[in-house]
């Protein structure tokens, strides 16, 4: 699925992450990470972003993370919120067990 709109979620406060999910003029998921710990946790952050994009069936997007030391569960929550906002849909709770 290609995006038509941009979705933003999160803040620049400590322990949070601001996630921007926007249309990608090229193809694929382009992940851009700005984080003090990207050397240590960049791969995990990318995995989380990819998992959320798969969850939403988004195939082409630019995903920017401005990370302030967020836990993985916060990154996931912010990515899901940004994805919902970009797609203009509510979260599918029925899929959560």
Residues near another protein (CB under 8 A) are: 9-11, 13-16, 70-74, 76-78, 80-81, 84-85, 90-91, 93-94, 96-97
The least CB distance from residue 77 to another protein, in Å, is 4
The least CB distance from residue 44 to another protein, in Å, is 13
Per DSSP bridges, beta strands 7-9 and 17-22 are antiparallel
The secondary structure of residue 81, as a DSSP letter, is H
Nearer to another protein, 30 or 33 (CB): 33
Nearer to another protein, 14 or 26 (CB): 14
For the residues of 17-67, what is the DSSP string, one character each? EEEEEE--SSSSEEEEEE-TTHHHHHHHHHHHHHHHHHHTT--BEEEEEEE
The least CB distance from residue 25 to another protein, in Å, is 27
The least CB distance from residue 64 to another protein, in Å, is 17
Contacts of 27 by beta carbon, 8 Å cutoff, 6+ apart = 59, 60
């Amino acid at each position: 699925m290609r995006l038509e709109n941009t979705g933003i979620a999160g803040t620049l406060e400590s322990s949070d992450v601001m996630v921007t999910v926007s249309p990608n003029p090229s193809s694929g998921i382009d992940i851009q990470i700005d984080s003090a710990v990207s050397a240590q946790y960049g791969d995990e952050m990318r995995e989380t972003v990819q998992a959320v994009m798969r969850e939403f069936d988004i195939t082409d997007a630019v995903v920017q993370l401005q990370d302030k030391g967020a836990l993985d569960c916060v990154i996931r929550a912010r990515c899901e919120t940004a994805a919902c906002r970009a797609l203009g849909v509510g979260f599918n709770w029925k899929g959560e067990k």
